[in-house]
Amino acid sequence: MAKLTLYGVELSPYVRKVRLALAFKGLDYQQIAVFPFMEDKPVEFVEHSPLGKIPLFASDDNFITDSDVIIAYLERAYPQPALLPTDDIAAARALWFAEYASSKMVEVIGGHLFAEVILAKQFFNREPIQTDIDKAITTEIPEICTYLENQLSSDYLVGDSFTLADLCVGAMFLMMHHCQQRCDASKWPKVAAYIERVHGSKLFTDLQAEEKELFVKYGMTA
């Protein structure tokens, strides 16, 4: 089997979803910590990540950039267990929810909430932008929850089993929970139950335990 290496930091939303995909497929890998803003990056990272973004992934000496491309590779190279449904329309819907998580949810939960509540003081050495936090909590996250409430018709976002959609959306809600924010079950009962279901899986409970240790290690609090 190829030697698999992941470059990046665990709390990045893009690194997190690749870590979840690797765990879902039961793949062993080495992780090398790389912060986007660190000066002394590994030579191979500088050479093979032209945009300087994380994650970077290597299968032996073959390097792949971009989290979505990495997951697409993993799905082709290690097709079982599958993250995408066999039905074409269902697969397209799963890819859409993955894109929604990577764009809208990362912008709101990652950028306006997590970056301000968790990272601003401890990593960026500045005061949080309270207007961004307030907008995320009062307007943007409710819009996300309302959209997903209207999309849920079964236990999972696409069909009756866990797919890439749930991996990506569930990962973003985990980031929201790190900031002590929840979807109100009285307003969005299907979303609240969905999050509890996804986060209760072994895939996510293992990840939550690992990230709890990271918060202690780096002295991070909400």
DSSP 13-56: HHHHHHHHHHHHTT---EEE---TT-SS--HHHHHH-TT--S-E
Instruction: Please report which confidence band the pLDDT of residue 144 belongs to, taking 50, 70 and 90 as the band edges.
Output: very high
pLDDT reading at 94 higher than 80:
yes
Nearest partner of 41 among 15, 66, 9, judged by Cα? 9
pLDDT of residue 38: 84
Q: What is the mean pLDDT of residues 87-113?
A: 98
pLDDT of residue 222: 59
Q: According to the CATH classification, is domain 4-77 in 3.40.50.11540?
A: no
- Point out the least confidently predicted range of 11-15, 51-55, 112-116, 121-125: 121-125
Nearest partner of 93 among 191, 170, 166, judged by Cα? 166
Q: What is the mean pLDDT of residues 185-210?
A: 97
pLDDT reading at 221 higher than 80:
no
196 touches 208 (CB < 8 A): no
- Point out the least confidently predicted range of 3-7, 27-31, 182-186, 217-221: 217-221
Question: Would you say how long the chain is, in residues?
Answer: 222
Measured between alpha carbons, how far is 149 from 145 in angstroms, rounded to an integer? Answer: 6
Q: Do domains 4-77 and 88-218 have the same CATH topology?
A: no
Q: What are the structure tokens assigned to 87, written together?
A: 């039905």
Phi and psi at residue 26, in whole multiples of 5°?
Answer: 70, 35
Percentage of the residues of the chain whose pLDDT score is greater than 70: 100
Any idea where the domains of the chain sit in the sequence?
4-77, 88-218
Q: What are the structure tokens assigned to 183, written together?
A: 């979807």
Q: What is the mean pLDDT of residues 71-93?
A: 98
CATH, domain 88-218, list 1.10.287.110, 2.30.110.10, 1.20.1050.10, 1.10.3720.10: 1.20.1050.10
Q: What is the mean pLDDT of residues 145-174?
A: 97
85 touches 163 (CB < 8 A): yes
pLDDT of residue 188: 98
pLDDT of residue 124: 86
Measured between alpha carbons, how far is 209 from 94 in angstroms, rounded to an integer? Answer: 26
Instruction: Please report which confidence band the pLDDT of residue 204 belongs to, taking 50, 70 and 90 as the band edges.
Output: very high
